[in-house]
Copies of this chain bind each other. A is one copy, B any other.
Amino acid sequence: MGRMHAKSILQHPRTATLTGCDTDPSRAQELSKEIGAEWLPLDEALESGAYDAFFVASPPSAHLDQVTRAARGGAYVFCEKPLGEDLASIDAAMPNLRQHGDRIQVGFNRRFDPHMAELKKRLLAGKIGQIEQLRIVSRDHTAPCVDALQNSSGLIAETAIHDFDLTRWLLDDEVAEVMCMGSALINPAYASVGHIDTATTLLRGSRGQQVVIQNSWRTSYGYDQRVEAFGAGGRLSVANPAGPLVAQEDASGLHRDLIAPDWLARYPEAYFIQATAFLDAASRRDAVSPDLKDGYAASYIAQKAADSLKSGLPEACEYGGLSVDLTTARAHIRK
């Protein structure tokens, strides 16, 4: 992650210095050398007050502390999703983060994918009117090893959180209710370590919009990332990008190649555009987007989805950690 961001940062015209940090100094040195950056011990960098912008790509459990310290010094902070390990820790950190809300960008990279951005543009242009129904498919290609799940916050908190953000962004509205159905259908071993691998989530927007998200940790056919929005004017959809544009037609029918295998192959442009947008905002001292509020809201919905998974019931979304109404919350964050 750090490596990927470094490339984008070095290409930005306003980048003067890039410094690599890590809790492990030797790793910081190594990476910095590799990407052609200086290096500094992490604490020193965070406390120096010398940086205009930070990219936080550490493990989720370290996000809130690092973001808070970086923001306190007046810097712009880009934080990979999720904002924190769980909603409780985010709620606890909010008093110290709230006043920096406009300078804290959260890594919902899909908003910057040119295809998703084109969809958003058309929705804003009223091409189909208000969204009435929305469907998001977000299915990974290769399921994680059971052993690798110790540090994973799971399908909902790590994967679906992107889709919760997409939902809010595309609806241009808050989620009012969430009902999540999930279980281990790919591999029962996941269930034995407390994880689900397949989930379908039903959400209601504040104006009654009906949203469905289909998540899975495994497809046989590639990284499946599609969106379909329905309104009075019709249907807008984003398809998976094709692989090579060679089609073969033979005695068994028509064949096309696999789609992209993973997020690295699917979203390189999105990551670059995301970093550029953040650095542009930092350069111009503009408000970032998606911001702290967006990071909070997605984690909030993820928590409610997890609650629903346990309770087997729909859960109301009232964004209580900020305030009953996220619009009010927005005012708080924005000062």
Q: Oligomeric state, in number of copies?
A: 4
Q: Is A72 an interface residue (CB 8 A)?
A: no
Interchain CB contact under 8 A, B250 and A253: no
Interchain CB contact under 8 A, B238 and A216: no
Q: Which of A74-82, A83-91, A202-210 contacts B (4 or more CB under 8 A)?
A: A202-210
Interchain CB contact under 8 A, B219 and A114: no
User: Which residue from chain B places its CB closest to the CB of A231 in the assembled complex?
Assistant: B220
Interchain CB contact under 8 A, A248 and B234: yes
Question: Cβ of A185: which chain B residues have Cβ within 8 Å of it?
Answer: 132, 208-209
Interchain CB contact under 8 A, A132 and B246: no
Q: Per-residue 0/1 for A97-127: is the Cβ within 8 Å of any B Cβ (1 yes, 0 no)?
A: 0000000000000000011001100100001
Min CB–CB distance A195 → chain B (angstroms)? 14
Q: How many angstroms from the CA of A115 to the CA of B135 in the assembled complex?
A: 23
Question: Cβ of A122: which chain B residues have Cβ within 8 Å of it?
Answer: 246, 248
Among A219, A257, A259, max chain B CB count under 10 A is at A219
- Which of B127, B200, B232, B233 is close to A133, meaning CB atoms less than 8 Å apart? B200
Q: How many angstroms from the CA of A139 to the CA of B236 in the assembled complex?
A: 15
Min CB–CB distance A220 → chain B (angstroms)? 4
Interchain CB contact under 8 A, A232 and B220: yes
Q: Is A242 an interface residue (CB 8 A)?
A: yes
Question: Cβ of A128: which chain B residues have Cβ within 8 Å of it?
Answer: 248, 250
User: Which residue from chain B places its CB closest to the CB of A215 in the assembled complex?
Assistant: B133
Interchain CB contact under 8 A, A239 and B245: yes
Q: Per-residue 0/1 for A182-219: is the Cβ within 8 Å of any B Cβ (1 yes, 0 no)?
A: 11011000000000001110101000111110101011
Question: Cβ of A186: which chain B residues have Cβ within 8 Å of it?
Answer: 132, 232
- Which of B199, B210, B214, B240 is close to A198, meaning CB atoms less than 8 Å apart? B210
Q: Per-residue 0/1 for A20-62: is the Cβ within 8 Å of any B Cβ (1 yes, 0 no)?
A: 0000000000000000000000000000000000000000000
- Which of B139, B183, B220, B251 is close to A251, meaning CB atoms less than 8 Å apart? B220
Question: Cβ of A239: which chain B residues have Cβ within 8 Å of it?
Answer: 245, 247
Question: Cβ of A10: which chain B residues have Cβ within 8 Å of it?
Answer: none
Q: Is A237 an interface residue (CB 8 A)?
A: yes
Interchain CB contact under 8 A, B252 and A118: no
12 residue pairs of the A-B complex, CB under 8 angstroms, read A181-B202, A183-B208, A186-B232, A216-B230, A218-B232, A220-B250, A220-B251, A221-B234, A234-B249, A235-B248, A239-B245, A254-B256
| Contacts A221-B253, A222-B249, A235-B247 known; 12 new A-B pairs at CB < 8 A | A115-B244, A118-B244, A135-B212, A200-B210, A202-B202, A214-B230, A218-B232, A221-B251, A233-B250, A237-B249, A252-B255, A253-B257
